[in-house]
Amino acid sequence: MTIGSSSSGPEAASPRAAAVSITVRARPRGWFASQTSRRLAFGYLLLAPAVVYVLLLVGAPFVFSLFLALSDASVADTTASFVGLENFRAAFESDVFYIALRNSIGFTVVAAIFKGLLGTSLAFLLLQPFWGRKFVRGLVVIPFTLPISISVLGWKWMYDSQFSVINWFLSRIGVIGTYGSADWPVWLGQPHLALAACIMVNVWRNFPFSAIVLLAGFTSVPTEVLDAARVDGTSFFQRFRHVVVPMIAPILLIGFLFDTVFTLSDLGVVYLLTQGGPANATKILPVLAYQVGIQAGALGRGAAIALFLFPLLLPLMILLLRNLKRREY
């Protein structure tokens, strides 16, 4: 009795199975499928928070201020109509505007020179090995981190016409007369001294920032390069000019750009010290824009005055950014 039978035949007996070839057309890969595209997408994803931050906190206020500058917006009226360049024309016709523009340029240039000199000197001092160097490095940033109102009010007390500690010190060393004499300088009451007093406070507050930027650049220069330059017989200033400065030029340019923006738009120091006086001697563009736009209520004209800071900064920004881009190649 046959229980089961095995199939037989030429196909079953063949040791090799018939090969069937099927041609499959490759599907095109999507843009996100390649590794390069995934890296780009990941990079854009990391940059997205910064872009959103800039658009919301910088771009939106700038567009809104441009809208105000082209309108007759004011605090007393809830509606605003388009007036074109009328607010800018009114600013050009004001004598106070030219005084504020001149003071702003002088304030920025003089403060930048002193901050560069003091910041460079302080950075070189902090590079030297001495006991308590880390503690001193922490102390020098205190002026930059203090609230501006506290520090400026402290300086205002030191500039006091009667109880000025600066005048007391100058009288002790014989530079000026004794206490209560007529030749004691009134720092915030004399036009030729008021702007210098504001510049002094701005330099005191911000030159530690310049020192920190320079210190970070100096520490990034390889010691082997400096040792090789020293073996070649170069002096200290030659190494600084021909070796250090070219290597840390991008850091210097970015730090200079930030410092210029901070100085040109410094409202707190001048307003808290003098409010633009005496006789408009310390009135700069941010103070004038605040007084016209906020205190006087003419929002459109105040915004137009504030926007004049942009063309002052734009050529400098273009020049520095082109210099940085050229150094990349």
CATH number of the domain bearing residue 197: 1.10.3720.10
What is the tens place of the pLDDT at every residue in 123-165?
Answer: 888 888 888 888 888 888 888 888 898 999 999 999 987 888 8
Q: Would 126 be classed as within a structural domain?
A: yes
Same domain? For 129 and 264 the reply is yes
Q: Would 217 be classed as within a structural domain?
A: yes
What is the tens place of the pLDDT at every residue in 170-206?
Answer: 888 888 777 666 678 889 999 889 999 999 999 999 9
What angle (nearest 5°) sits at the alpha carbon of residue 208, between those of residues 313 and 317? 15
Same domain? For 58 and 132 the reply is no
Q: What is the pTM of this model?
A: 0.81
Residue 217 and residue 209 in contact, taking contact as beta carbons nearer than 8 Å: no
Q: Hey, what are 308's tokens? A: 């004049």
Q: Would 160 be classed as within a structural domain?
A: no
Residue 198 and residue 282 in contact, taking contact as beta carbons nearer than 8 Å: yes
pLDDT the model gives residue 5: 44
The set of long-range contacts for 157-161, using a CB threshold of 8 Å and a minimum separation of 24, is 159/187, 159/188, 159/197, 159/273, 161/186, 161/187, 161/188, 161/189
Q: Would 133 be classed as within a structural domain?
A: yes
SS3 category, 272:
helix
Same domain? For 267 and 298 the reply is yes
CA distance 140 to 206: 10
Domain that holds residue 45: 35-69
Same domain? For 229 and 289 the reply is yes
Q: Work out the percent of the chain whose per-residue pLDDT is above 70.
A: 88
Neighbours of 310 (CB within 10 A): 12
What is the tens place of the pLDDT at every residue in 38-86?
Answer: 888 888 899 999 899 888 988 898 899 999 999 999 988 888 899 999 9
Decide if pLDDT at 13 tops 50.
no
Q: Would 52 be classed as within a structural domain?
A: yes
Q: Would 18 be classed as within a structural domain?
A: no
Residues 9-25: what's their mean pLDDT? 48
Buried b (16+ CB within 10 A) or exposed e, 158-191: bbeeeebebbeeebeeeebeeeeeeebbebbeee
